[in-house]
Amino acid sequence: MNAIRPAAVAGRFYPGNPRELEAAVRRYLAEATAESATEQGPVPKAIIVPHAGYVYSGPVAATAYARLAPARGTITRVVLLGPCHRVPVRGLALSGADAFATPLGDVPIDRDTCTKLAELRQVEVFDASHDQEHSLEVHLPFLQVVLGRFNLVPLAVGDAAEMEVAEVLERAWDGPETLIVISSDLSHYLLYDAARAIDAATAQAIVRLDGGAIGRDQACGRVPVKGLLALARRKGLSVQQVDLRNSGDTAGSRDQVVGYGSWLFFEESAAPTKKRGEDSALAKARGMLKRHGGALLGIAARSIAHGLAHDRPVPVALDAVAEELRAHGAAFVTLKRNGNLRGCIGSPEAHRPLAADVAENAYRAAFKDPRFPRLGSHEQDGLDLSVSVLTAPEPMHFRDQKDLLAQLRPGEDGLIIADGPARALFLPSVWEQLPQAETFLAHLKRKAGLAADHWSAAFRAHRFAAAEVKGALKVDDRHTKFS
């Protein structure tokens, strides 16, 4: 006998009569389509939508759901995450039910995907968190009307780190048959103007994919939202805001309002607009390396050869290099032999022309890194060389070490830490050797001369991104080159 999770808030958050419910959903969708032409454009991979009573948040949720209409018959699995309002859970809770009921019919649970997710340590089956929870249920009628038949993966999100949520989403991501839905309202019970201000800040953070800028009082579903944002950054998703209102705009008074917004997330092949603004610096660096990475590797190689002969970096004739290489830039040069680090020196911030910065740091990586002896001429041939161009460091805001660790994006963030005179930097490539955030930070502290468990109120952190180009030195009787 199948176990059915009955509708808990039908007749309260949305109509309990099937005909009235379907009519209400179709009306919201039609209004959203008519007002903003939301039927146009690609189908998103993920959405963020609100979960209040339909009279309040239904019009806002509809602006995102209307964009799913072309995917009817394509999307057959919905991974739905929302916050726990009644029964808390550590991590994320799956349901043991075989289906979730609504007045429009039963939605079957995708048991195979649930079993796969339950293998993760942060996921458990805990029906108590689902029994009376509305943050997931209110989305099902919209999904039923727009998509028709689909299977559901319901996850109530409790006390979890954003990377734990991101790991769950990554495992369930799959292809175009899978839609990710994140359920969250915004600010709660503020005066109208105050709510508009704080919700605008939250909206900007979502568009920037900056989960670290979303505080506890800014979104009740901040944990699943942050998890999606972390994964979206890693996957290079673009985001489009389609609505931002509050209950004072839809159906309530303006003295104690709740904020609502809807956002669409697109994979690169489907993105309707260019990538988000804050990624433009990284995209610019990657584009520059695509055009001039070979020239920078050549400068680094010549600087090492010049250092062997003259004990100083090679002089760079700036009028002889591309204009992009004359602009100020920050670069790190990393040397390896047989896969082992042989030197790494760089500039955390731009303070001179990029070509000159690469020449200086290549020389210093070969001859001035205090961790290694000076590079010998016999080590040149076959030396692996990489040049990383850094984006400007951005300060991170956190309450404590746990909060800092939750904000880190493994594989993506370069990190600078400082506490008093102690300071150290890891490039994003270090995640390859230290993939866990706790280990990454502990090793970086030790690099700064701090204890691995060090923490103080003065501890500071900045993150950055980096684009990298690699080559290998080859030496013959006449010259040094790279390949």
What's the pLDDT band for 425 if we cut at 50, 70, 90? very high
pLDDT value at residue 282: 86
Q: Are strands 99-102 and 4-5 parallel, antiparallel or unpaired?
A: parallel
Instruction: Give the mean model confidence (pLDDT) for residues 261-273.
Output: 78
Taken in order of first residue, the domains within the chain and their CATH numbers are: 4-275 (3.40.830.10), 280-391+466-482 (3.30.700.20), 394-464 (3.30.1490.150)
Q: Percent of the chain at pLDDT above 70? A: 94
Instruction: Give the mean model confidence (pLDDT) for residues 447-469.
Output: 93
- 3-state SS class at 54: helix
What's the pLDDT band for 35 if we cut at 50, 70, 90? low
pLDDT value at residue 275: 39
What's the pLDDT band for 390 if we cut at 50, 70, 90? very high
Q: Are strands 151-157 and 92-94 parallel, antiparallel or unpaired?
A: antiparallel
Virtual torsion, Cα 187, 193, 196, 197, nearest 10 deg = -90
Instruction: Give the mean model confidence (pLDDT) for residues 81-108.
Output: 96
Which range is least confidently modeled, 179-183, 188-192, 208-212? 208-212
**End-to-end CA gap in the chain:** 65
Q: Cβ distance 269 to 286 under 8 Å?
A: no
Whether pLDDT at 277 is above 80: no
Instruction: Give the mean model confidence (pLDDT) for residues 176-181.
Output: 97
Whether pLDDT at 418 is above 60: yes
| pTM of the model as a whole | 0.59
Instruction: Give the mean model confidence (pLDDT) for residues 225-246.
Output: 92
DSSP label at residue 95: -
Residue 254 token pair: 């303006």
> Which among 147, 139, 170 has a CA at the least distance from the CA of 50?
139
What's the pLDDT band for 270 if we cut at 50, 70, 90? low
pLDDT value at residue 476: 57
What's the pLDDT band for 347 if we cut at 50, 70, 90? very high
- 3-state SS class at 418: strand
d(CA 254, CA 276): 33
Residue 139 token pair: 């989305």
d(CA 387, CA 393): 18
d(CA 167, CA 406): 12
Which range is least confidently modeled, 131-135, 253-257, 396-400? 396-400
Residue 235 token pair: 């996957």
Instruction: Give the mean model confidence (pLDDT) for residues 249-273.
Output: 85
Identify the bridge partners of residue 472 per DSSP, sorted by sequence position: 384
What's the pLDDT band for 274 if we cut at 50, 70, 90? very low
Dmax of the chain from CA atoms? Answer: 86
Q: Cβ distance 96 to 170 under 8 Å?
A: no
pLDDT value at residue 219: 97
Whether pLDDT at 426 is above 50: yes
Average pLDDT score over the chain = 91
pLDDT value at residue 38: 41
pLDDT value at residue 89: 95
Instruction: Give the mean model confidence (pLDDT) for residues 104-120.
Output: 97
d(CA 58, CA 42): 22
Identity of the highest mean pLDDT range in 60-64, 269-273, 348-352: 60-64
Residue 159 token pair: 């006390």
